[in-house]
Amino acid sequence: MPKIDVEKTRKDFPILSTTSNGKRLVYLDSAATSQKPGGVINAISEYYRTYNANIHRGLYDISVKATEAYTKSKEAVANFINADSYREIVYCKNTTDAINLVALSWAEGNVGRGDTILATEMEHHSNIVPWQLLAKRKGAKVEYIRMKSDFTIDMDDYREKLEANPKLVSFTHVSNVLGTVNDAKEITRLSRKAGARTLIDAAQSVPHMPVDVKDIDCDFMAFSGHKMLGPAGLGVLYGKEAMLEEMPPVYGGGDMIRSVSFKESTWNELPWKFEAGTSNTEGGIGLGAAIDYLNKVGMKNVRAHETELTRYALKRLEETRGVKIYGIGLKGMAAFNRAGVVSFNIEGAHPHDVSTILNSEGIAIRAGHHCAMPLVNTVLREPAVARASFYLYNKPEEIDILVDSVAKVRSVLHLKN
Ligand code: 7TS
């Protein structure tokens, strides 16, 4: 028995029964953003219909209820990643914002002239640009751990780069282009041994597999609610309590203070110290509902389902003429961890044309540099790649539609061989 009843699951996602270009929507772009189940949509709607109020401010019932729901969602996030408490869960706008918060707070005080920040060659721009900005401000430098030709991190290169005593190792858990799952625990262990702090960009891992911050033992982790069935505009920064305690706030304003005088201010307790102004209450409530949904399905089941889909997609695409895959192939999956992101090109076709033709078949995939220009342009040496990415609501039949349409692309573009 499959652990996920995909037809039943699909019924929970209203958008999946809509059409696009007269065809049933085949949504294969969950790495960009996930679709939302009715439970999440309803939780947000119920909040606006029945208890919309500003949190932490009113003493009246609906404000208390909204505050409780928002705080409860933080407890759900903390449990979901096995953090010690909701005090370690800071709400931001998204992964990008969470990483910038660490750059502007912790790193601002701890990285100086000549210091190094280590990332990898497979980062999303959001885990490159904040460090480049910091490096410019501080006279520090950003270095990148090399990727091997098998699409995994070169651990020898990493060990070598650790000898320069970097202040921070900030790396992606799962590549949004390659689907490579990096060994977060080992990378963190080595970084700790070298005296560096660790930030994990978990935008593509937390939504798709069990992730345990205590087991990994990282200092920081960043991820986005919109990629895990929640609404956009709400991301998470996890930080070890001791780290967050010593960090200064970045944004000042309402709610993040304990007291304010004309001369100076003191800060609210964690995690509110980092959350100035009126909160994204609907975002928190929506993320809480998303986590309830994922917990019911079980993250091990999500991971198993996506692994199965990935194997099937790789098998079918590897058999398709003219298709080149960027990432661990079907054979490689025996040895390496791989997530449900499959980037490919069709020989002789620009990925934008591929995406446009697939769109006419109702298929949503992404084409471009996927906000990982250094990886795509410099390491893979491509101007762009097409990418299909999966989630718990995708089914093998959709991969068949994708692969059949890829064959159609070849005939539309009159590609030979
Ligand atoms: N890190 C990784 C690994 C990502 O895949 C993304 C978004 C981000 C950070 C940034 O997330 P945000 O929520 O702050 O925007 N990745 C993608 C993608 O692959 N296609 O669209 C967005």
Topology of domain 6-30+298-411, per CATH?
Answer: Aspartate Aminotransferase, domain 1 (3.90.1150)
User: Binning pLDDT at 50, 70 and 90, where does residue 344 land?
Assistant: very high
Query: pLDDT digit string (tens) for 146-178?
Result: 999 999 999 999 999 999 999 999 999 999 999
User: Binning pLDDT at 50, 70 and 90, where does residue 414 land?
Assistant: confident
Q: What does the alpha-carbon distance between residue 332 and residue 353 come to, in Å, rounded to a whole number?
A: 29
> Which of 99, 100, 124, 209 gets mutated to test ligand 1 (max ligand atoms within 8 A of its CB)?
124
Mean pLDDT within 190-206: 98
Q: What does the alpha-carbon distance between residue 403 and residue 308 come to, in Å, rounded to a whole number?
A: 16
- Of 67-76, 127-136, 360-369, 403-412, the poorest mean pLDDT is in 403-412
Query: Is the C-beta atom of 173 inside 6 A of ligand 1?
Result: no
Tell me whether residue 371 is one of the annotated catalytic residues: yes
Give the CATH number of domain 41-295. Answer: 3.40.640.10
Query: Is the C-beta atom of 71 inside 6 A of ligand 1?
Result: no
Query: Is the C-beta atom of 74 inside 6 A of ligand 1?
Result: no
Identity at 205, one-letter amino acid code:
S
208 C-alpha to center of ligand 1: Å?
A: 14
Mean pLDDT within 333-344: 97
8 C-alpha to center of ligand 1: Å?
A: 28
Looking at the chain, the number of H-run helices and the number of E-run strands are 15, 17
Q: What does the alpha-carbon distance between residue 338 and residue 396 come to, in Å, rounded to a whole number?
A: 17
Query: pLDDT digit string (tens) for 225-266?
Result: 999 999 999 999 999 999 999 999 999 999 999 999 999 999
417: pLDDT strictly greater than 70: no
125: pLDDT strictly greater than 60: yes
136: pLDDT strictly greater than 60: yes
Q: Residue 224 CA: which ligand 1 atom is closest?
A: 13
Tokens of 62: 């609906």
* Distance, first Cα to last Cα, the chain: 40
368: pLDDT strictly greater than 80: yes
Q: Residue 98 CA: which ligand 1 atom is closest?
A: 14
Mean pLDDT within 379-384: 95
Judged by phi (left if over 0) then psi (alpha if -120 to 50, else beta), residue 152 lies in beta
CA 166 from centroid of its chain's CA atoms:
24
1: pLDDT strictly greater than 60: no
Q: Residue 83 gets which letter from DSSP?
A: -
The string over 47-83, giving b where at least 16 C-beta atoms fall within 10 Å of a residue's C-beta and e elsewhere, is beeebebebbeeeeeebebbbebbbebbebbbebbeb
Query: Is the C-beta atom of 95 inside 6 A of ligand 1?
Result: yes
Ligand 1, atom 4, lies closest to the CA of: 203
Query: pLDDT digit string (tens) for 38-75?
Result: 999 999 999 999 999 999 887 899 999 999 999 999 99
244 C-alpha to center of ligand 1: Å?
A: 24
Q: What does the alpha-carbon distance between residue 182 and residue 223 come to, in Å, rounded to a whole number?
A: 16
Residue 238: strand, helix, or coil: strand
Catalytic residue among 371, 372, 376, 406: 371
Query: pLDDT digit string (tens) for 68-114?
Result: 999 999 999 999 999 999 999 999 999 999 999 999 999 999 999 99
Identity at 77, one-letter amino acid code:
V
Query: Is the C-beta atom of 31 inside 6 A of ligand 1?
Result: yes
Residue with tokens 């005593």: 165
Q: Where are the domains of the chain?
A: 6-30+298-411, 41-295
